[in-house]
């Protein structure tokens, strides 16, 4: 199987539109970090096709870009604009099943509903990605049953 890396450029707007705090469910945070660990890179991508968004997952941040809009150019380089970012806040969790406190950073107005949808749709995209990884990792098994002939 071929292995390749995709290089993308993303621009973080200079100013934040708004910021709020919340808690990220443990299963969602753990799934994002597991996906990143399995990829083995500093960042990995998770397409959220139902919303036409892309999550860019790093150890200390998840950023979301809209695949249908928000393109910028600077110094001859083009890339998508980050719309929303999730950043962990506070100290370490008390257990792996505890929710994670995080900041939601909005770089544009009118994204509150998008943020609410991102929780559920990111979880669904993670499940789909995990199933695909299991399929790829599963060994190919073949069997052949040959009847014995009597002599």
* 62-114 confidence digits (pLDDT tens): 999 998 877 888 888 888 999 999 999 988 888 999 999 999 999 999 999 99
Identify the pLDDT of residue 147: 60
pLDDT above 70: percentage of residues in the chain: 86
Q: Is residue 120 assigned to a domain?
A: yes
What pLDDT was estimated at residue 70?
A: 79
Residue 72 lies in a domain: yes
pLDDT-based confidence at residue 16 (cuts at 50, 70, 90): very high
Angle between helices 26-39 and 112-137 (to 10 degrees): 50
Which residues span the domain enclosing 56? 28-135
10 Cβ partners below 8 Å, 6+ apart?
Answer: 56, 63, 65, 79, 80, 81, 82
Residue 20 lies in a domain: no
Residue 52: inside a domain: yes
Residue 142 within a domain: no
Per-residue model confidence (pLDDT) at position 60: 93
Decide if 3 is inside a domain: no
- Domain annotation covers residue 13: no
Residue 1: pLDDT band (50, 70, 90) is very low
For residue 54, the model assigns a pLDDT of 95
Structurally, the chain folds into a number of domains equal to 1
User: What pLDDT does residue 151 have?
Assistant: 65
pLDDT at residue 19 in the model: 97
| 48 CB neighbour count, 10 Å cutoff | 20
Domain assignment present for residue 33? The answer is: yes
Mean pLDDT computed over 50-73: 92
pTM to 2 decimals? 0.83
As a whole number, the mean pLDDT across the chain is: 87
């Amino acid at each position: 199987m071929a292995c390749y890396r995709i290089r993308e450029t993303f621009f973080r707007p200079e100013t934040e539109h708004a910021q709020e705090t919340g808690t990220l469910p443990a299963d969602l945070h753990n799934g994002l970090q597991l996906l990143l660990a399995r990829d083995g890179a500093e960042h990995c991508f998770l397409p959220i096709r139902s919303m036409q968004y892309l999550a860019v997952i790093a150890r200390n941040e998840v950023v979301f870009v809209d695949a249908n809009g928000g393109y910028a150019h600077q110094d001859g380089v083009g890339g998508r604009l980050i719309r929303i970012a999730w950043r962990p806040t506070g100290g370490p969790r008390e257990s792996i099943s505890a929710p994670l406190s995080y900041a939601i950073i909005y770089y544009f107005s009118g994204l509150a509903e998008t943020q609410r949808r991102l929780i559920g749709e990111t979880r669904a995209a993670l499940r789909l990605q995990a199933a695909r990884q299991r399929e790829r990792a599963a060994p190919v098994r073949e069997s052949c049953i040959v009847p014995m002939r009597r002599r």
